[in-house]
């Protein structure tokens, strides 16, 4: 009996392909939606030193800054306080200075801010209702306040060598001034005002050390780590004693530079002796909502996450806001919906950015974005540099007013993120600049819901 071939029905492979694909982003829950923030990285590693400018009275005038001139500056290193009654700044800040204000205006007198008293005021206006006088004093103290951070001198020298810049005494002095420059010191009221820039004294040390190092050594010699250390020892003998030179522990020799912070907070701790000490750090996450008072949403005053509202933690420049309720930064509101062809949701995000989520049919998505412009990788995100110049997008003002272009910077590069791909497409992205039109749209959507 001859062999027979089995007969099989043809297989329809179309049924094996999925109709849609949900994209699950492996991201943590939004910080503003968390009640327990124990697993959230709140603080960054860098610790800053907090400082205040002095108030100087001399020869019938009053200044802020430093009593002596800088070696590489011809003009005095201070800013004049002007206005109708410049000396009244002393009475406003009297409770926070190291000495009682004096009527003597000719003799050189230096008033210094008592840090702990200033920090207590900052904590008061941030955590509870405050008076107009307290708010005024806090604003002046904030104008006098600045932070520094220690910077590795050896690393700075190495960076200068790598930059291959021509180093002269003038160029090194300019670099030193940049490291110690307070670019904007400003306050204004009816009674007094001041505005200008200053160079902190640490800039002098930067100039001395860097010049002494490069004056006695070539850039090629300083590429060797041991040669660089010896050069620093010679240029900076006050920081190197015999005990330091023979110490087994590696020491990093540093000098302070003026710094800027992101999401800065002041942390209060108590020592074993019952005294308070303060520590300044940046934060990764801090705010969670915006306040609503008498039905009006206040976009300018974000509220610190409830788990971080504590007298031992004060955000820089923060003021207590009396409010009826608050709205989470991650709360999405529907702002556009037309026959299910396109649905747009908006979340208020932060003070400087908004979050948008868009849902539309897959065919409409491809017609709008163009098949060739989409190149999906494993992350399911792509650059939209060409998408938002698309003719279809620009000609549909009815819905595109709800869809400003994504923010573009070194980190995000104008990307959008997919949540669903198939017959319907859902994606989201971040809008920078906090466009005023989106604020109005979000508020109007809230009215419709209430």
Radius of gyration of the chain (CA): 30
Cα-based distances in Å from 67 to 75, 247, 425 = 12, 38, 65
Instruction: Give the up-direction half-sphere exposure of residue 187: CA atoms within 13 A in the CB hemisphere.
Output: 22
Q: What's the CA gap between 222 and 155, in Å, rounded?
A: 11
Q: What's the CA gap between 299 and 331, in Å, rounded?
A: 14
Look at residue 246 in the predicted model and tell me its pLDDT: 44
- Whether 97 and 55 have beta carbons less than 8 Å apart is answered as yes
DSSP states of 236-299 as a string?
Answer: -GGG--HHHHT-SS----EEEEEE--SS-EEEEEE-TTS-EEEEEEEES--EEEEEEETTEE-T
Instruction: Give the up-direction half-sphere exposure of residue 341: CA atoms within 13 A in the CB hemisphere.
Output: 7
Look at residue 172 in the predicted model and tell me its pLDDT: 86
For 154-188, what is each residue's pLDDT tens digit?
Answer: 888 888 888 877 788 888 888 888 898 888 899 99
- Token pair 């994606």 is at which residue? 427
Tokens standing for residue 33: 């939606």
Q: What's the CA gap between 389 and 168, in Å, rounded?
A: 49
Question: Which backbone phi and psi does 80 adopt, to 5 degrees?
Answer: -75, 140
Q: Which residues contact 221 (CB under 8 A, 6 or more apart)?
A: 227, 231
Tokens standing for residue 192: 């007094």
Within 347-414, residue ranges assigned H as helices are 362-369, 391-395, 397-400
Look at residue 243 in the predicted model and tell me its pLDDT: 44
Q: What's the CA gap between 316 and 326, in Å, rounded?
A: 21
Cα-based distances in Å from 413 to 136, 179, 200, 346, 383 = 41, 30, 37, 20, 7
Q: What is the pTM of this model?
A: 0.81
Tens of pLDDT along the chain (450 residues) come to 555 655 656 655 555 555 667 766 666 778 888 888 888 889 999 999 999 999 999 999 999 998 876 665 666 789 999 999 999 999 999 999 999 999 999 999 999 999 999 999 999 999 999 999 999 999 999 999 999 999 998 888 888 888 877 788 888 888 888 898 888 899 999 999 999 999 998 998 898 888 888 888 888 888 888 888 888 888 776 555 444 444 444 566 889 999 999 889 999 999 999 899 999 999 998 999 999 988 888 888 899 999 999 899 999 999 998 999 999 998 899 888 887 778 889 988 887 788 889 898 888 777 776 654 444 444 445 555 555 655 666 666 677 777 777 776 655 556 778 888 788 888 888 887 655 677 777 877 766 454
Say whether 438 sits in a helix, a strand or coil: helix
Look at residue 430 in the predicted model and tell me its pLDDT: 84
Instruction: Give the up-direction half-sphere exposure of residue 314: CA atoms within 13 A in the CB hemisphere.
Output: 26
Query: Number of H helices and number of E strands within the chain?
Result: 13, 23
Structure letter (DSSP) for residue 82: B
């Amino acid at each position: 009996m001859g062999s027979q071939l089995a007969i099989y029905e043809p297989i329809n492979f179309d049924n094996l392909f999925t109709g849609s694909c949900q994209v699950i982003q492996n991201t943590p829950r939004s910080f503003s939606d968390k009640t327990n923030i124990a697993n959230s990285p709140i603080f960054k590693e860098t610790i800053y030193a907090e400082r205040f400018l002095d108030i100087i009275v001399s020869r019938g005038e009053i200044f802020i800054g430093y009593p002596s001139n800088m070696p590489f500056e011809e003009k005095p290193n201070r800013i004049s306080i002007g206005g109708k009654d410049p000396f009244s700044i002393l009475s406003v800040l009297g409770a926070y200075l190291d000495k009682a204000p004096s009527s003597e205006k000719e003799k050189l007198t230096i008033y210094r801010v008592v840090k702990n008293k200033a920090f207590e005021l900052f904590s008061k206006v941030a955590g509870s209702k405050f008076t107009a006088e307290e708010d005024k004093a806090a604003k002046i103290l904030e104008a006098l306040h600045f932070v520094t951070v220690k910077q590795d001198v050896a690393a700075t020298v190495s960076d200068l060598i790598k930059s291959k810049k021509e180093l002269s005494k003038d160029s090194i002095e300019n670099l030193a001034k940049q490291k110690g420059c307070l670019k904007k010191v400003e306050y204004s009221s009816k009674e007094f005002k001041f505005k200008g820039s200053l160079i902190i004294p640490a800039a002098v040390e930067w100039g001395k050390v860097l010049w002494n190092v490069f004056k006695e050594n070539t850039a090629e010699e300083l590429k060797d780590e041991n040669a660089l250390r010896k050069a620093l020892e010679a240029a900076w003998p006050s920081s190197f004693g015999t005990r330091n030179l023979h110490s087994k522990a590696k020491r990093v020799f540093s000098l302070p530079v003026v710094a800027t912070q992101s999401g800065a907070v002041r942390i209060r701790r108590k020592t074993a002796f019952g005294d308070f000490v303060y520590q300044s750090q940046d934060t990764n996450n801090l705010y969670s909502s915006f306040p609503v008072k008498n039905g009006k949403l206040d976009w300018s005053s974000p509220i610190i996450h409830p788990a971080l509202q504590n007298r031992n933690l004060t955000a820089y420049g923060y003021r207590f806001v009396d409010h009826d309720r608050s709205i989470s930064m991650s709360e999405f509101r529907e702002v556009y919906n037309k026959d299910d062809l396109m649905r747009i949701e908006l979340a208020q995000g932060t003070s400087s950015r908004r979050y948008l989520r868009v849902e539309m049919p897959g065919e409409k998505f491809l017609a709008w974005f163009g098949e060739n412009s989409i190149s999906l990788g494993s992350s399911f995100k792509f650059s939209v540099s060409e998408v938002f110049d698309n003719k279809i997008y620009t000609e549909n003002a009815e819905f595109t007013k709800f869809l400003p272009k994504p923010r573009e910077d070194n980190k995000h590069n104008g990307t959008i993120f997919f949540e669903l791909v198939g017959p319907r497409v859902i994606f989201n992205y971040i809008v920078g600049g906090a466009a005023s039109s989106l604020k109005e749209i979000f508020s109007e959507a809230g009215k419709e819901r209430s």
